[in-house]
Structure 1
Amino acid sequence: MAIKTKNISPDGKRQMTMQQFTAWLGRFDADKDGKISRQELADAVRGAGGRFAWWKCRQGLRSADSDGSGYIDANEIGNLVEFAQKHLGVKIVGF
């Protein structure tokens, strides 16, 4: 699932709100437990057209998983924004 938005910033990144980003990321929550696992994050990276998904998801999980559970839950989605802007080619506006 690619990230589909009509808003492209001057630097070529796809602009989306935090709500749109959360909804897009939620599509990869395969088991619908409200948390994003390493595999689900790798699927999201691939869905965004990213290369080296295994490495990027490991980095993303490390940067976002503040409680060390191995999952990114609703309270940690905000931690994932910096990673997403750097590695997924998106720009979160209104954050």
Structure 2
Amino acid sequence: MNCCNCSKKSKCKGCMNKCFPVPLTKVQVKAILQRFDSDGDRRLSKQELESALYYIGSHLPGWRATQALNSADRNHDGYINHGEMDGIVEYVWQRGYTIS
């Protein structure tokens, strides 16, 4: 993947755009989290959250997954269900992960 929206295969040689990290949008965060629902049960376990957080660049994905669950798991069942998804998206988005 290029670091900008140019069509060059190399990292912007000759491209006028600078390569800066771009913050993830809430839509992107939600799509990434949903992609890590590995068993297809439409909810996220701590392990699935940890994998998603590792993918987006968390330095401590296990700790961050625990914090995310504590923040968004309203019924305290250890999973993020459909009704809790907006809360987990907000939590992750506020951490400022980027695409580089």
Q: Which residue of 2 aligns with 1:85?
A: 93
Q: Which residue of 2 aligns with 1:14?
A: 23
4+ runs of 1 displaced by more than 4 Å?
A: none
Distance in 2 (alpha carbons) for counterparts of 1:33 and 1:71: 10
The one-letter code sitting in structure 2 at the alignment partner of 1:46 is Y
Unmatched tracts of structure 2, length 5 or more = 6-20
What is the deviation of 1:67?
A: 0.6
Q: Which residue of 2 aligns with 1:35?
A: 43
Q: Which residue of 2 aligns with 1:47?
A: 55
Q: 1:66 aligns with which of 74, 83, 90?
A: 74
Distance in 2 (alpha carbons) for counterparts of 1:28 and 1:88: 19
What is the deviation of 1:13?
A: 4.9
Query: What is the TM-score normalised by the length of structure 2?
Result: 0.68
8 A contact 1:56–1:87 mirrored in 2: no
Q: Which has the higher strand share?
A: 1
Query: What is the TM-score normalised by the length of structure 1?
Result: 0.72
Aligned residues: 80
Q: Answer 1 or 2: higher relative contact order, Cα 8 Å, separation at least 6.
A: 1
Confirm or deny that 1:56 pairs with 2:64: yes
Unmatched tracts of structure 1, length 5 or more = 1-5, 7-11, 91-95
| Deviates further, 38-47 or 77-86 | 77-86
Distance in 2 (alpha carbons) for counterparts of 1:26 and 1:58: 18
